[in-house]
Amino acid sequence: MLGVEQKPSEEAVSPDNAGTHPWRRYIALGDSFTEGIGDPDENNPGRHRGWADRVAEQLSSTVDGFSYANLAIRGRLIKQIIDEQLEPAIALNPDLISICAGGNDVLRPGGDPDKIADQLEAAVARLASTGATLLIFNGPDIRDTPVLGGIRGKVAIYNENIRTVAARHDAVVADLWALRELHHPSMWSEDRLHFSPLGHQTIAAMVLDALNVPHPLVPEMDFEPDTRTWRTARLEDLQWAREHLAPWVLRRLRHQSSGDGITPKRPEPTPFVTPAPNDSLGAGQ
């Protein structure tokens, strides 16, 4: 797969062509993770940036005519992603596609990681038939997340299934589970269900590494040790459960979604506009 399998030569990463890659049109599919929830877009109030925007920014910086669309919508289950996003994405004629799907299904009681993986494979097979480079995400290690840590085993099973799917269809795996930096609380937003701007930036760097694209995304990560007492940590857990977890559970009991009434933020492939330089986590910071 061009631009993915080979390690870049010294010429490939020279200052004159650092970041060069073979893609011209990137389409992102998924749920809140790919929409960018947790990473507010300072240039567009009410909207979110996220790892996919950050990746597209880097990919567009060295390739004339590069375009990017993001069809992801928060709260979507894997069947909804397949039904709503798959064929529209293919119709846009991408040569690079990312898909992160099934996480919301795995989190649900009774979610079967094997059956969910079967749905994912059907979608990946359809995407692979286009000849585009495919990027598939596995799930992060949620061992330190209150409540959600209890389904760590299900996530691990789903991740192994994802690796199998990727191998069958020559897809690149964006390995969130192996990204140990994500264990630090600063990588997560206040709701502990989505990543913070630093988390999204760290993930964007990992994605570019997986695609074998040189980049300047090396955020400072001078983590301070957690000095909270056990009691303080538990009180914060209770507050989090009231403010974030309970509403999340209630929506599911009511068969509601945070994405109800939401449309894709970038439904058509367009050139990526570099954000204003006041972004403290921008390229090179």
Return the closest-CA partner of residue 204 out of 189, 220, 217: 217
Let me know: does 41 contact 47? Beta carbons within 8 Å. yes
Q: What is the pLDDT of residue 35?
A: 97
Q: What is the pLDDT of residue 185?
A: 86
Q: Give, for all 285 residues of the chain, the pLDDT tens digit.
A: 434 443 333 333 333 445 589 999 999 999 999 999 999 998 888 889 999 999 999 999 989 999 999 999 999 999 999 999 999 999 999 999 999 999 999 988 889 999 999 999 999 999 999 999 999 999 999 887 756 778 899 999 999 999 999 999 999 999 999 999 998 888 998 887 899 999 999 999 999 999 999 999 976 665 666 666 666 656 656 666 666 566 666 665 556 556 567 899 999 999 987 655 444 454 433
| Residue 226, amino acid | D
Which residues, in sequence order, are bridge partners of residue 172? Answer: 135
**Cα dihedral: 119, 136, 72, 198 (round 10):** 140
80 inside domain: yes
Let me know: does 208 contact 55? Beta carbons within 8 Å. yes
pLDDT digits (tens, 9 = 90+) for 77-125: 999 999 999 999 999 999 999 999 999 999 888 899 999 999 999 999 9
230 inside domain: no
5 inside domain: no
49 inside domain: yes
Q: What is the pLDDT of residue 157?
A: 97
pTM score:
0.82
Q: Which domain range does residue 72 map to? A: 25-219
151 inside domain: yes
Burial code (b: 16+ CB inside 10 Å, e: under 16) for 87-113 equals eebbebebebbbbbbbbbbbbeeebeb
53 inside domain: yes
12 inside domain: no
The CATH number of the domain where 159 resides is what?
Answer: 3.40.50.1110
Give the chain's largest Cα–Cα span. 56
Structural domain count, the chain: 1
266 inside domain: no
